[in-house]
Amino acid sequence: MGHKNQVIWVTFKSRTSIKGQVLAHFIAEFTSGPPPHNNPLERWILNVNGMLNSKGAGIGLVLTTPNACIIEQSYTLGFRATNNEAKYEAVIAGLKMVATLGVTILEVRCDSLLIVSQVNGEYTAKDDRMIVYSKVVAVWKVKFSRCDFKQVSRSENSHTEPIAMLASAVNFQFRCKIPIEHIPKPNIYKPDVEVFRPDRFPRWRVHIISYLKERTLPGDKAEA
């Protein structure tokens, strides 16, 4: 009774951005507990998709754990990309996400026969950007003790389509449930590192570089 005049202050604090919260909670749950939540001997399944629409490019990921828990992730691409490049970006983003969880056995499912065949070494990439993308995927594959790529039909991969489209949709009706991240640059480029392109330099600079590296001089006496 002596505390009936006590004043209790309740302070309202607006909720911070939900960006990445779902994934953060998921990582916290599945990397800290004992098996079967994150048994390194169990296979995880990652469905990936990338697509283009009038608003831009988006990618969708659906990760299924061994105990049938599902996490969905969507990304927007802040650059122009072809359909194949968007699908490669989906693969790389998915591998990065799953590697964070400490998963060792992974099966990646994609509806692109071209990309799956290139990653598995059955097709040889000829386009310069496809070559680099396939090499980046190879770097991430070795982070797992086993990482298999499987081509599935579009109907089998249909869960990823609305998630990929969500990234550039006008009405974000699922934003409260599915985190949407942004990829500003292609994953084939290293951040803040300029690619050295001697062919873009004036001719005299190329000659200097050749001399410093190989001690070779131009055939023309004046240029030498």
- How is residue 198 annotated by DSSP? G
Angle at alpha carbon of residue 42, lines to 119 and 86, rounded to 5°? 30
Mean pLDDT by 10 residues, the chain (224 residues): 56 48 52 48 90 79 89 85 91 93 92 94 90 94 95 87 64 49 72 49 65 73 72
- How is residue 14 annotated by DSSP? P
Place of tokens 């056995």: 105
Token pair in block for residue 180? 């949407």
Helix (H/G/I), strand (E/B), else coil: 107: strand
- How is residue 195 annotated by DSSP? P
Q: Dump pLDDT digits (tens) for 24-42.
A: 555 555 544 444 445 657 8
Strands 105-110 and 56-64: unpaired
Residues carrying CATH 3.30.420.10, the chain:
21-188
Which pLDDT does position 175 carry in this prediction? 44
- Which residues of 118-172 form beta strands (DSSP E)? 146-151
- Residue 55 and residue 67 in contact, taking contact as beta carbons nearer than 8 Å: no
**Element holding 50 (H helix, E strand):** strand 43-53
Q: Which CATH architecture describes the domain 21-188?
A: 2-Layer Sandwich (3.30)
Q: Dump pLDDT digits (tens) for 107-122.
A: 999 999 999 999 999 9
Q: Strand order of the sheet with strand 56-64?
A: 146-151, 105-110, 43-53, 56-64, 70-77, 180-183
- Burial of 26-48, coded b for 16+ CB within 10 Å and e otherwise, reads bbeebeeeeeeebbeeeebbbbb
pTM check: above 0.75: no
Give the number of other Cβ atoms within 10 Å of residue 197's Cβ.
Answer: 7
Question: In angstroms, what CA-CA distances link 55 with 119, 120, 132, 166?
Answer: 29, 32, 26, 10
Which pLDDT does position 153 carry in this prediction? 92
Helix (H/G/I), strand (E/B), else coil: 167: coil
Place of tokens 């994150």: 38
Give the number of other Cβ atoms within 10 Å of residue 87's Cβ.
Answer: 24
Token pair in block for residue 112? 């692109």
Place of tokens 């995927």: 137
